Amino acid sequence: MSKLSRLAETLIGSEIVRLGNEIAVRVNRGEKIYNYTIGDFDPQIFPIPQELEDAIVYAYRNKQTNYPPGDGVLELRQAVASFIKDREGIEYAANEVLIAGGGRPLIYSVFRAIVDAGDKVIYAVPSWNNNHYTHMNDGEHCVIETTVENDFMPTAADIEPHIKGAALLCLCTPQNPTGTTLAKAELEKICDLVLAENASRGADEKKLYVMFDQMYFTLTYGETQHYNPVSLRPEMKQYTVFVDGISKAFAATGVRLGWSLGPAHLIGKMKALLSHIGAWAPMAEQKATAKYLLQKDAVQTYLTSFKKELEDRLWAIYNGFKALQEKGYPVDAVAPQAAIYLTIKIDLKGMQAGDKQLETQADVTEYLLSEAKLAIVPFYAFGADRTSPWYRLSIGTCKKEEISEMLGMLEAALQKLMVLS
């Protein structure tokens, strides 16, 4: 077979897709699987807001099916600016807002607009797809291995050794896959590092930009608060590009509508890139979202109910894991902070499963799927070390009535190993 491009030949396949395929095979065989792998929602459990659905249907029935403008319809860009001002207190003009078909094309365009081959890209692991986007752009990987002591978030001290000459710093909070957040004091220190580094560069030198992925910022729980660079350090506005949208805030992953906010010159270049790709959100969805975001009472009512349902599930599973830990099983969990993810630890490597020893974390993952019918994503799928015993558990498809059943299956599988080992 003839070779293809270097990029095509060197791309790493998705571990999540591989797990998904294995789960599909088992489900087709009639197995019941507790599938907590996918960062998505079951619409039967978590439907999009009714007002948004009605507005989408209305837009299609009124023939809103032509091409949208390359940067998004004006009323949507204005509605996004209003939504962000209300919720975060930061102001953006319409020409500083870019609409696209979800967050992925926006992230791709951020990388393409900023990163040249050989440029340093700083990102922490575990994190969603930063390793792949850096590879696709021939960037230099500046990888920060995070720890549970810092809630798997990078610190300013972690970032500082890489910052000289870097082109892009990738931050995500609340974070996929961990469901944890950057604290205010730490984000302030990171902003100060960026500002000092950019002040040291000459007028003709490329500046260091921050890609700030806040796709889950509306989904925080308890005392957890979301902070952003521009609110904390207004001068960061010229160096920050946000990635955001309705996908997670309103369980609207399949509606495919995201936005970026950033400096007008950068947003303009991202728009030009996307104009060649055609990664627009459909016209009807844009028109509908523009109307919905301005319905403040409806938005708040939906978020209040939605967040309660998510938080109930996260705490139920967290408490279940802590109960298993108290019984002596080698598991742990980080208390819920945000998003739809729970960070859990299942440390079974080296134990004996029948006639097979669990030699790798991949073996552990396979054992959990086979014996506990529990499908979760190992942190190494997000760039972390392949020996990490930590996992992402997503509750977007979780039925509350199945949580105790799942925990019982997990305990039985753990007990089997404890007896054999």
**Each residue's pLDDT tens digit, 8-58:** 999 887 777 788 788 888 889 999 999 999 999 999 999 999 999 999 999
CATH architecture of 50-295: 3-Layer(aba) Sandwich (3.40)
The answer on pLDDT for 3 being more than 70 is yes
Whether pLDDT at 250 is above 70: yes
Average pLDDT on 204-216 reads: 97
- pLDDT, position 17: 76
CA atoms of 245 and 269, how far apart (whole Å): 20
Q: What is the pLDDT of residue 419?
A: 62
CA angle 112, 118, 124 (to 5 degrees): 75
| Confidence band of 418 (pLDDT split at 50, 70, 90) | low
102-138 per-residue burial string, b: 16 or more CB within 10 A, e: under 16: bbbbbbbbbbbbbbeeebbbbbbbbbbbbbebbbbbe
Give the torsion sign (CA, 202, 206, 208, 209).
Answer: positive
In tens, the pLDDT along 100-149 reads 999 999 999 999 999 999 999 999 999 999 999 999 999 999 999 999 99
> Over 60: is that where the pLDDT of 290 sits?
yes
pLDDT at 307 over 70: yes
Inter-CA distances, 137 with 119, 121, 134, 171, Å? 9, 10, 5, 18
Per the CB < 8 A criterion, the answer to whether 241 and 262 are in contact is: yes
Domain locations along the chain: 6-46+300-420, 50-295
Q: Which two tokens stand for residue 306?
A: 């939605």
- Tell me which H or E stretch contains 304: helix 296-326
Q: Which pLDDT does position 24 carry in this prediction?
A: 84
pLDDT in tens, 152-205: 999 999 999 999 999 999 999 999 999 999 999 999 999 999 999 999 999 999
**For 102, phi and psi rounded to 5 degrees?**
95, 180
The letter for the amino acid at 106 is L
Average pLDDT score over the chain: 96
Supply 271's token pair.
């728009």
Class of the CATH domain delimited by 6-46+300-420: alpha beta
pLDDT for 421 beyond 60: no
**Rounded Cα–Cα distance for residues 54 and 291 (Å):** 11
pLDDT tens-digit readout, 56-65: 999 999 999 9
Q: Which of 19-28, 319-328, 333-342 has the lowest average pLDDT?
A: 19-28
Check if the beta carbon of residue 273 is closer than 8 Å to that of residue 109: yes
* pLDDT (0 to 100) of residue 420: 55
Q: What DSSP state is assigned to residue 167? A: S
Report which of 404, 387, 407 is spatially closest to residue 347, judged by C-alpha positions.
387
pLDDT, residue 211, reads 98
Tokens of 177: 């896959």
pLDDT band at 319 (very low <50, low <70, confident <90, very high): very high
